[in-house]
Structure formats: C-alpha cells, structure tokens
Structure 1
Amino acid sequence: MTQLVECVPNFSEGRNQEVIDAIAASISGTHACSLLDVDSGVSTNRTVFTFVGSPEVVVEAALNAARRAFSLIDMTKHSGEHPRTGALDVCPFIPVQNVSMDDCVHCASVFGQKLADMLNVPVYLYGEAARQERRRSLPAVRAGEYEALPEKLKRDEWMPDFGPASFIPSWGATVTGARKFLIAYNVNLIATKEQAHRIALDIREQGRGRGQPGRLEKVQGLGWFLDESNLAQVSTNILDYERTPVHTVYQEICREAEELNLPVVGSQIVGLVPLRALLDCADFYIHKDQLFVLEEEHKVRLVISKLGLDSLSPFNPRERIIEYMVSSQDSCRLASLSLRRFVLSVGARTAAPGGGSVSAAVGALVRLSVCPSVCLWGRL
C-alpha cells in the first residue's frame, strides 16, 4: 500500500518570486514528489511549501529545496513579521497514509543529519522527534530568533542535534521534526498589531506566561500587522484540531475582539487543511444555527462563508483541502496506468480508483468493443 508523508518546509523568503519559484522547482523536480501548495506572505516574508511522497522521496525533496535555498537566501538581509531562526526555518514531517509517527521521526532524523552534513549548518530536532523535553515546543527552540543565535549556540543546553555549534550568518539554524497535522489559522481584525497580540496572549495555551495561562489548549498565537492588506491578524497554530477545533478558536477571538470593540473581518488558513477539521466546523454551525445541510460540498461552502476564509484571497477547496489534493494527484497518476495495472488498482484496498474511474473505464471498453479491429485485451 502506498505510503505518504507530508512535508511542510517554511522558508524565510516571501517577497522575491524568483527565489520562491526556484525552491518550488527543486521540490516538484524531485521524482515521485507531489508539490501541493505554495503559500507566501509579504509582511511575514515567508513561504510555506507543502508536498507529499514516500518517506524517502520527501526527505530527498526537502534536501533539494534546502540546497537551492542555501545559494539564494541571505538571512543577514531578512526581516519580517514571523518569528524565524534561519533560511529554512522549520521543516516538519507529518504522517498522511500508511505511515506512523515513528516513521516521520525517522524522516526528520535522516533529514537533519544529511542537511547538516551537506551544508555544514546547525540543525535542531523538535516535536515528536525531540531528544530533549525542552525542545519539543517549536517556540521554545526558536526563542530569541535568528538574532539570538550567536550567543545561544555557545551555550551547552542549546548545542544543535546535528551540525556545528557555529553561527552561519547567511543561514542561521534549521529546526526539523515530526508532528500531527497543524492548522495555521489567522483571524483578521481592523486593529493595531498590539491589540491583536493582546488577544493572542489571552487565548493561546501559553497565555501571558507563568501563572497566567491562556484558554485554548494546543493553540499557539501572536499578533501582527499585514501592511499589504492594511489589517492586523491574530495568528495561531492549532496543534490538535480535535482538542481545539477551528471554530472554537474563531469564536474565542471574536468574543475578545467584541469586548475591545474591534471588527473581525474574516480569517485565513495558510497552507492546507484536513477535511475533517472543516466538517467539524460545519457541524458546529449547523447545530448552532439549526441549519439543514447534508452534502459535503455545501458544508465546506458553509464554513468558508461563516469564517470568511476567502476574505484575503480565494479559498478553493480543491486546492486547499489535503484529501482533495492527494486524490487529485492519484487521479493524475491513474490516467497514465495500463489497463492491467488499473484493474489491479481497483482490486486493491485503496481510496482510488473509485466508482467514477471504474465507470469511465467500463464506458471506454464498451465503446471499443464495437470496433473489432482494436485488440484491447492484448494490452492487458
């Protein structure tokens, strides 16, 4: 059965399209790797790439992307709203299909070692791949950001897991690891950066620090201002959407904003999102507003409307929901199969090919059967 791992490297470049395109090309040019999404931000000066493949393929693609970025990104010239420690700031591996978290931990370890060997840069492990408890949290590893690295690397407790404990000005440091699916979710406000950050401090799990915890479990957050959109955002990472659903984050931020008389003007999902997260959100609003919505497509549309997910840019479910993207990639591959391999795929215990693909194949066979000169069965 096909193994799929998702890799979501975040590069510290969101303004130079030539650099972004070059990194994307290095990923899509990796054999058997499917680049699903490229999401750039001007104010954050950051681009999130999302791709899937087998464990070996995604590690290779991530290394190809890092190698390309090494010659194109100079951290001494970087500035942006998003916290960062390096040119390739963070590179997580996430289980998607027929792989375990341990498999993704192995991916992170292999990638980290190879990256350090290839570029001679410091690399840290975080999340499920962390070898020290203090390094499980990405914000903890990234504390102080790029600017703090020269001193941080001198301290024994922050020796990198791979590579030299040396400050590489053009690169910084890279953090890699394994985790569950994370939803990068931002809520738009007509407000200042400071007002947005105030709300973030109240709702995020960390809160305002020791003795002042926030309200939402498994949620990280901060506030920033998007110059290109002329609005502020409460930017969150939802680490476990089953524990704290998307709609809960949205409702809490709306409640906080209302207390401050700040308008909420939609929200934004960065990168891809699991279908289940949106359907859970739809079920919440269907129950809350006593709606009658049955079809999956209509439920997704309801969520787009309720959360204002298309407020900053179009939200195309076929391009933003990971299950749809993976299914689309499978469909493209199915089109190139021989009939024999297609029939074998039908018998396999996989989601694709499904009924639509089988119906199309049967229809083609029926049409060809009326032409005796075509010996189709010989090509099985």
Structure 2
Amino acid sequence: MSALVECVPNFSEGRRKDVIDAIANAISQTKGCYLLDVDPGTSTNRTVYTFVGEPEDVIAGALAAAKVAHKLIDMEHQKGEHPRIGAMDVCPFIPIRNITIEECVELSKRFGKLLSEDLDVPVFLYGESQPLEHRKELSSIRQGEYEALKERLNDPKMKPDFGPVEFRPKYGASCVGARNFLIAYNINILGTKEQAHRIALNIREQGRSEKEPGRLKKVKAIGWWLEEERMAQISMNLVDFKTTNLNHAYEECEKDARDLNVATCGSEIVGLIPLEALLDAANYYMKRDNLLILDEDKKVKLAIQRLGLSSIKNFNPKERIIEYIIKERLSSDDEKYQNMSLKHFTSLVGARSSLPGGGCVSALVGALGSSLACMSAYLTYGNKKFEKLDSQIRQVLPSFYDTYHELLKLVDQDALAFNAYVDSRRLPERSAEEKLIKLESINKSLFRCIEVPYTVLKRSNELWPYLKKLAPVFNIETKSDLQVAVKCLETAIFGAYANVEINLKGADLSDKKLADLSADASKVFLQSKQEAEEILKIIQERN
C-alpha cells in the first residue's frame, strides 16, 4: 500500500471567501491531493486546510497553495487574533500510512527549500524538523509576530533555514515542519469543571509543575465546562498517540474520576483520526476482555463502544477515519485487481499481456490457501460440538485471517512493482545525471519486483506451524478444504520463488542484502515441500 501523508497548512486569511476558495482549489486541483477539510476563522483571520496524498503529490499541493497565498494575501494589511508571521504561516507534514516521522522530516525540508526558491521568501523549520532546540517551538519563531519579523531577521539566531535573510513585507515568512498525528480527544465527566481540571493536571505530561509532572507522556490537557451538554470535559491533545493512545488516556482518566467519586460518560474525538489509533484501542480491549474479533469493521465498532465515542454525537467511521474518507474519494491502482470480478481477472491472466502474471497469481493462490485454512478453522470454532477446541483455534485463526488479507493486497502490489520497473527502463539517458537517475530508478524498482514475491513466499511459509496445530483438530467435514489450502500455499511459495529467481537475474548479487534474500528464498522453497507433505499426511490420517 502506498505511503500517505497529511498536510495541514495554515493561511493568514479567514474572511475573504474568494481567497479561501482559491487556495482550496489550488490544493484540490493538484493531481493526487485529496482535500478533506477547510476550516476558516473570522476572528483569527486564518484558515486551516487539511489534505492528504502520496509524498510527492502533497509537496506539489502545498506549493500550489503557497503560490496562491503569495499572490492574494498581503501581510501588511492582515490582522487577526491568531499569532502569525506569514501568508502561508505554518505547514506541517504528518505521517499517516507507510511512512515514518523521519521521512516526513525530510519531506518538510525538501518542501521548505522548494518554497524558498520558488517564491524567494524566508522559511523556518520547526518541530521535529528543527535540530536547534531554541527554534523547535512555533512560539519562539513567531515571537512578536509579523510586526517584529523585519527586526528579528537581523538577529543571527533568527537566520532562516532556507531562503533570503531579508524581510518580504507582502508575504512575511513560513514555518515548515513535521509532527506526528495529533488527536483532539475529550472525555466526558459528570462532575464540575474543577474536578475535570484536577484530573487533567494529574494526567497531562506537564502536570502541575516541574516538581509534580503528570502520568501520561505526550499529552496536553485542561478541564472545562461544556455548556451545550451541561457537563464537564477533560480536553486533551494526544500529541503522539503511539506513546499514549485513546484507551490509555481513557482508562487513566476513569481511574482518577473514581477516586473523586465522579463518573465518566463516554468521550469524543474532535476532527479526524487515523484508523491505527482505533485499532490499537480495539486490540487493547480484545486482550483485556479475552475477545476474538478479526474483522476490521467490528474492531472499530468495539473501540467506539468501549470509549463511548458516540456519547455526544454519532461517530460515523466513514466520516471520521482518515483512511475511510480517502478510500471513498481515491482513484487508485492499489486495489485494481482485488476489486475485479473473478471472470474479468481470469480473462486478463489469459490475455496477450504481461499483467497480471505469475507473481500476481502466486499471491492470489496464497490468499486462497490461507482463506481456506481460515474457513476450516472458523467452522471448527464457536461450534458447541467442538467447544473444547476453542482455545486452540483462537491461537491459529488470526494468522490465517491476517495472511490472506495481506496476500490479497500483494496481488496488486506485484503488478505495480512490475509497471514501475518498466517505467524506469523508459527513462531518458541523455546526460550523465540522467543516466545515474535512470540506474537508481531501475535498481529501486527491480528490488521491489523481488521484494513483493519474496514477501508472498515468506508470509505463506509462516502458516505451516499454524496448519500443524489445526490439522489434528479441525472439523473433519472441511477435510478436502484444508487439503486444498495446503497445496495452494505450497504452490504460492513455488510461484513466488520462481519470480524471485527470475528477477534476481537482472540484479547485482554482490549486494549482500540480495544475496541473503536469494539464499533464504531457496531455503524456504525446499522446506515448503516437506512441510506440506507432513501436514497433508496428518490430514489424510484423520477419519
């Protein structure tokens, strides 16, 4: 699945609809950019835009928006309640899927450099992107705001990271950075504002003072009164949900509420949320309550129910989870074959074309094998006749389920890898620089052509231990299904190995990583025959 980045640029205009719309159009009309939200503020005279896309597309979208702001916003006449130093005041890049915060830092630096070069304006790095401690906080960069910028640029400590060390009166300057996804999360308290704030002081990282820090890392919190609902809330910013997740925050607040003899009454998420945050919460409650839930939508429902996310307003996953919103709007090749009818896919395999080929089919056969194993396990689980086996089936069922979903995605990934390789072979090589770019592109795409079938091989191979546990106890009525599952997985490994080997012929095997991969693939392929034979023997001996 492709990398996904969120970009949340803040522009110093919240009153003129024509300017707000022009910036929105610049983003939404950039190929690969999906505008999710536009939030203007009249008193702040500021608009926050939220959009997502793949890394390169997001850079292009942010740059297009900045160019419009450069043309239409005049900071010499801009006034508002919110601190600001420029037309595009702040532009953070946030990792959403298949990309790290470190990669977003590099992305922000590339964007900052491009922005400064294209518009000839000063650009400051902040947050995770800024190596200097005294420049990490936005407040330190924006001290004195736009009105003090001209004078502050004379201070060597305020030298921009990119662009001219000169005041640009019409535009000002921009702050560019990277941060993890921030979740605005409020927990409802059937008590007073003071009680809610007391809990907030206990749990927020800052605590009451340096001598009395709070318990939860990467959490900011206050207590307030929500007049429209006639109740108090602990209002939190989970600055890094991978450090402190929803369930952790909720459980800690609930614990303190009990100590104060007040009740919690659900919670709410303000704005959007990554799917991972809800799945992490679901996994916590599944483990705590010894639940077996495999389907993603059911895990999401569990998290919503346990956290009481619909206590104030109905929490609709399709409208609140970033990945689901994008899926509704996204036109992508990531699921092209997965979403085809069986008839259409088979006709394409049989057509006079290279795709879908053996790599795609190997991934599909592996997905069918693991899903058949999943079916056999499911038809044994939750059945009164086999109730004593439930604990054993629980140990194997999730692996079959997860593997067939992953292998299904690799059907499309194999085709995407091949197409990228073909495209890289077509790159021009008119200069030494172009030749180097082409070679790097070929090597990168070729490695991906090896990596995808290798992943098919490894993931299929990981199921043998689980099949050995299932084979002696499965519902005998699914005997032939499990036999087919084993042969499918063996075939998937054979096909994936064949694809790894043929693609390795074009690679540099002096590269230790590739040499080790080749040796491991060969070892797995040889072992798979023996593993399949042993499991089929166990199945065959069942009556």
- TM-score by structure 2 length? 0.51
Structure 1: how far apart are the matches of 2:354 and 2:195? 58
Counterpart of 1:184, as a letter, is: I
> Which has the larger displacement, 13-22 or 304-313?
13-22
> Which has the larger displacement, 296-305 or 261-270?
261-270
Counterpart of 1:343, as a letter, is: P
Per-residue deviation at 1:124? Answer: 1.9
> Which has the larger displacement, 22-31 or 161-170?
161-170
Counterpart of 2:272, as a letter, is: G
Change (3 A) 1:85 1:351: farther
- Partner SS for 1:40: strand
Match of 2:185 in 1: 186
- Partner SS for 1:63: helix
Match of 1:217 in 2: 217
Match of 2:277 in 1: 277
Match of 1:38 in 2: 37
Contact 2:238-2:244 at 8 Å conserved across structures: yes
Per-residue deviation at 1:59? Answer: 1.0
Match of 2:356 in 1: 343
Per-residue deviation at 1:142? Answer: 5.6
Structure 2: how far apart are the matches of 1:196 and 1:141? 33
Match of 1:244 in 2: 244
- Partner SS for 1:66: helix
Contact 1:193-1:224 at 8 Å conserved across structures: yes
Change (3 A) 1:237 1:226: same
Per-residue deviation at 1:208? Answer: 4.4
Counterpart of 2:114, as a letter, is: K
The 5-angstrom pairing of residues 184-333 of structure 1 reads: 184-187=183-186, 200-221=200-221, 234-254=234-254, 259=260, 266-273=267-274, 275-287=275-287, 293-310=293-310, 314-325=314-325, 327-328=327-328, 332-333=332-333
- Partner SS for 1:124: strand
Match of 2:388 in 1: none
Change (3 A) 1:310 1:156: farther
Structure 2: how far apart are the matches of 1:144 and 1:227? 34
- Deviations 1:7-55, CA, capped at 9 Å, x for gaps: 3334456677665543332112112x231521637598653403112x3
Structure 1: how far apart are the matches of 2:50 and 2:223? 22
> Which has the larger displacement, 125-134 or 202-211?
202-211
Q: Find out whether 1:133 has 2:155 as its counterpart.
A: no
> Which has the larger displacement, 203-212 or 218-227?
218-227
Structure 1: how far apart are the matches of 2:362 and 2:15? 45
> Which has the larger displacement, 277-286 or 310-319?
310-319
Structure 2: how far apart are the matches of 1:218 and 1:196? 19
Which sections of structure 1, spanning at least 5 residues, go unmatched? 358-380
Change (3 A) 1:341 1:130: farther
Per-residue deviation at 1:136? Answer: 3.8
Structure 2: how far apart are the matches of 1:232 and 1:115? 44
- Partner SS for 1:76: coil
Structure 2: how far apart are the matches of 1:49 and 1:9? 7
The 5-angstrom pairing of residues 49-68 of structure 1 reads: 49-53=50-54, 55-68=55-68
Structure 1: how far apart are the matches of 2:233 and 2:139? 18
Contact 2:205-2:214 at 8 Å conserved across structures: yes
Change (3 A) 1:264 1:314: closer
Q: Find out whether 1:159 has 2:172 as its counterpart.
A: no
Counterpart of 1:79, as a letter, is: E
Number of residue-to-residue matches in the alignment: 351
Contact 1:76-1:169 at 8 Å conserved across structures: no
Q: Which has the higher contact order (CA 8 A, sep 6+)?
A: 1
Contact 2:87-2:172 at 8 Å conserved across structures: yes
Match of 2:400 in 1: none
Q: Which has the larger radius of gyration?
A: 2
Q: Find out whether 1:77 has 2:61 as its counterpart.
A: no
Structure 2: how far apart are the matches of 1:78 and 1:56? 32
Change (3 A) 1:30 1:146: same
Contact 1:346-1:354 at 8 Å conserved across structures: no
- TM-score by structure 1 length? 0.68
Per-residue deviation at 1:119? Answer: 4.2
Change (3 A) 1:324 1:65: same
Change (3 A) 1:312 1:76: farther
Per-residue deviation at 1:235? Answer: 4.7
- Deviations 1:49-107, CA, capped at 9 Å, x for gaps: 03112x33211111112223442586833236xx7665534322244566555543332
Per-residue deviation at 1:150? Answer: 6.7
Per-residue deviation at 1:164? Answer: 5.0
Contact 1:122-1:166 at 8 Å conserved across structures: yes
Contact 1:34-1:329 at 8 Å conserved across structures: no
Match of 2:496 in 1: none
- Partner SS for 1:281: helix
Contact 2:199-2:253 at 8 Å conserved across structures: yes
Contact 1:39-1:270 at 8 Å conserved across structures: no
Change (3 A) 1:101 1:354: closer
- Partner SS for 1:77: coil
Change (3 A) 1:321 1:163: same
Change (3 A) 1:227 1:29: farther
- Identical aligned residues as a percent: 42
Structure 1: how far apart are the matches of 2:407 and 2:16? 38
Per-residue deviation at 1:135? Answer: 3.2
Counterpart of 1:105, as a letter, is: V
Structure 2: how far apart are the matches of 1:249 and 1:59? 34
Per-residue deviation at 1:284? Answer: 3.0
Per-residue deviation at 1:194? Answer: 8.5
- Partner SS for 2:249: helix
- RMSD over aligned Cα atoms: 4.8
